[in-house]
Structure 1
Amino acid sequence: MVLIRHRLQQHLKLPLPELEISECSTLCTFLPKPMSDTTIQGVGDFMDLEKLCVLGRGNYGIVYKVRHGQTLAIYALKIIKQDTNEAYVSHEAEILNCIDSPFVVKCHGVFEPRAGEKAILMEYMDAGTLDGIFRANGPFSEASLAHISYQVLNGLKYLHEHNIVHLDIKPSNLLVSKDMKVKIADFGVSKIVHGIVSRAATNYHNMCEGTRAYMSPERLDSHTFGSGCVYAGDVWSLGVTLLELHVGHFPFFPAGKKPTNWMELVLVICFGESPSFPKEASEEFRSFIKCCLEKEPSKRWTVSQLLSHPYVCLGEKLGK
């Protein structure tokens, strides 16, 4: 363990490098044109939006529940702080404005209320986030998670097919409606993969923004685990998310324990034992999570492979 720690200190940069997003200026050439915009949705003036309550707060801004004065339609409005890096602001707004998938939160428009400030108008998901539901109601059943898995994997399939790696899949970034539709949100640290994978791998060390607890081994230690499978990190994050929602705590540590520092987190994720399952866990669920949490990214199942897994097929049937 001492040798591992020494090697990590040699090859991992402290602090983690900032995400470079200058490559995203030609983003919309990679994506289909959105099917809707502010004119079609009927929200043409930022001043027509009435703030009702705060839905959430993050490092870069606040998300409000808002009501459109003329139509009375309800939306979510993310206002990004004025002092936020301008490239970050443009990056998330541009990605959301170009995406159109039933499994990804829809953007209805981007406003600039004040100089240097961006406001992103999005569809309102009336049940909140998976994290909020978990905190209110406790762990999810395998059947519920199968239905969630099917939806999130379809969202990731869309993103990956359009050269987007999300890089921050976690319970609080998965929005839910009251009829249990689940959509991927928050593209602030997402990255566009240009050209062939080898080119993307060259810049993989720039993909270190995000939530470290959900990062895959290759994102935390690319020297040991390689950097060629750029989309595999989203699959790992999904596996951690689902297992956490089922067992009721972060799965790489016992219940009630948290890492004392980020190096301990890296050691456990990269070189520790695989998380354990509840005794009553089904073979299908165990198999699915193991396919997601394969430490070697080249052996980890892809999104397309996971969509054909028996556990996910159960989730597809539940959604019909």
Structure 2
Amino acid sequence: MPSPIPPTRLLPKDLFPSADISVCSSPLQQRGLGATLQVPPQRLHGKLGSRPWSSVIHWQQLRCVEAVGSGGFGSVYRAEYLGQTVALKKVKRRSKNRLASRQSFWAELNAAHLSHRNVVRVLAASTCVPADFQDEGSIGAIVMEFVGSRNLQQVIYESPEPLEEARCLRFSSDMAEALRFLHAHLLVHLDVKPPNVLLSPGGVCKLADFGCSLQLERERAPSSISPLLSHGCGTYSHRAPELLRGQPVTPKADIFSLGITMWQLLTREPPYTGDRQHVLYAVVARDLRPSLSHAVFASAQGRRRAELLGRCWSAEVRRRPSAEELLELLRSA
């Protein structure tokens, strides 16, 4: 099954570091990249919340406190930086696909210049990682706001606390708000799923992990998709069928993924069972979707929820609501 994301669609060609660039150089500092990726002047005083993001990490001011997560991408730590609690993400070099590792690292910075209540904010990033901060051959590190150690995956599947309808609605609205903001800036996340939605102590959802994200071009439509990164991006259970077919990326791919995530919130069950390849085939060829015969969809309100989910994961991209339309539908629910 082809992957939806080729290397050239993750970032402009200019942003790919060539083999002869030193470990401390940053593609964001290369010439000719346009205003949106220019690194603002440093401000080392005052609170981190008021600082622009930086392409330099002041390692002497950074102290790891504890590990809070790890995976194929690397490791995340709670840390102290310039007097405040932050999250430090060390992106590791994948031995089997080093190009994918670099693409993932630079894609993480697609939202670095943006700030929104429901998006985890990037504070600093660097490809120059000192030896005492290395973690499994890190190719780079990113300092982000520290939201907490809980994500929606844990809330849905590992917590005994109830997920009442009002709470599900609030979480869904938070994710739709994040996507509305990102899509307005022509940024597509492409990996919306419960583990990538962090939950603050105040119960606010924040979308994280932009390693699969794509900055769309305003001037022309996206080009055709090539099948080069067969396992490098996205999660098969949440991936839109048009991407599996190798068709162009649009913001509606995120709406499909959000629909699957909303179903998980409502049912607290995995969306599919069975072999990965069989699921992928069925999603594309047989319009397989999570079951809407669950008890939570039996009431009149539940049937309206089911109808909304059906629109979000429709095989016809044009039938899916935009993030803004989805937000309005959730507010009126």
Q: Is the 8 A contact 2:110 2:214 kept in 1?
A: no
Q: Find the partner of 1:264 among 271, 278, 285.
A: 278
Q: Is the 8 A contact 1:232 1:300 kept in 2?
A: yes
Structure 1 residues 185, 280: CA separation in 2 closer, same or farther (over 3 Å shift)?
closer
Q: What SS does the aligned partner of 1:80 have? A: strand
Aligned to 1:221: 245
Structure 1 residues 287, 127: CA separation in 2 closer, same or farther (over 3 Å shift)?
farther
CA–CA separation in structure 1 for the residues paired with 2:4 and 2:253: 16
User: C-alpha offsets along residues 204-262 of structure 1, whole Å, 9 cap, x if unaligned?
Assistant: 7578721111001111124xxxx3561111000000011012212223x3xxxx322x3
Aligned to 1:23: 12
More deviation, 43-52/239-248: 43-52
Q: CA deviation at 1:196?
A: 4.8
Structure 2's unaligned 5+ residue stretches are 16-27, 52-56, 132-137
Q: What SS does the aligned partner of 1:307 have? A: helix
User: C-alpha offsets along residues 53-88 of structure 1, whole Å, 9 cap, x if unaligned?
Assistant: 2111121211111123x62x2111101114553642
Structure 1 residues 233, 301: CA separation in 2 closer, same or farther (over 3 Å shift)?
same
User: C-alpha offsets along residues 108-143 of structure 1, whole Å, 9 cap, x if unaligned?
Assistant: 111322387311111111252111222332573322
CA–CA separation in structure 2 for the residues paired with 1:183 and 1:52: 22
Q: What SS does the aligned partner of 2:198 have? A: strand
Structure 1 residues 268, 147: CA separation in 2 closer, same or farther (over 3 Å shift)?
same
Amino acid at match of 1:67: E
Structure 1's unaligned 5+ residue stretches are 1-11, 315-320
TM-score, with normalisation over the residues of structure 1?
0.78
Give 1:1-320 correspondences, 5 Å limit: 12-13=1-2, 18-20=6-8, 21-23=10-12, 25=14, 29=34, 31=36, 39=44, 40-41=46-47, 45-68=58-81, 71=83, 73-82=84-93, 84-85=98-99, 87-88=102-103, 90-111=105-126, 112-114=128-130, 117-126=139-148, 128-137=150-159, 140-196=163-219, 198=221, 200-203=222-225, 209-222=233-246, 227=247, 230-251=250-271, 253=272, 258-260=273-275, 262-270=276-284, 271-274=286-289, 275-281=291-297, 282=301, 283-309=303-329, 311-313=330-332
TM-score, with normalisation over the residues of structure 2?
0.75
Aligned to 2:25: none
CA–CA separation in structure 2 for the residues paired with 1:128 and 1:293: 26
CA–CA separation in structure 2 for the residues paired with 1:179 and 1:212: 31
Superposition RMSD on alpha carbons, in Å? 3.1
The number of residue pairs the alignment matches comes to: 288
Q: Is the 8 A contact 1:66 1:74 kept in 2?
A: yes
Q: Is the 8 A contact 2:124 2:142 kept in 1?
A: yes
Q: CA deviation at 1:304?
A: 1.7
Q: CA deviation at 1:94?
A: 3.0
Structure 1 residues 177, 38: CA separation in 2 closer, same or farther (over 3 Å shift)?
farther
Q: CA deviation at 1:152?
A: 1.1
Structure 1 residues 89, 202: CA separation in 2 closer, same or farther (over 3 Å shift)?
closer
Amino acid at match of 1:312: R
CA–CA separation in structure 2 for the residues paired with 1:50 and 1:272: 49
CA–CA separation in structure 1 for the residues paired with 2:124 and 2:239: 30
Q: Is the 8 A contact 2:4 2:245 kept in 1?
A: no
CA–CA separation in structure 1 for the residues paired with 2:207 and 2:13: 20
More deviation, 146-155/35-44: 35-44
Aligned to 2:24: none
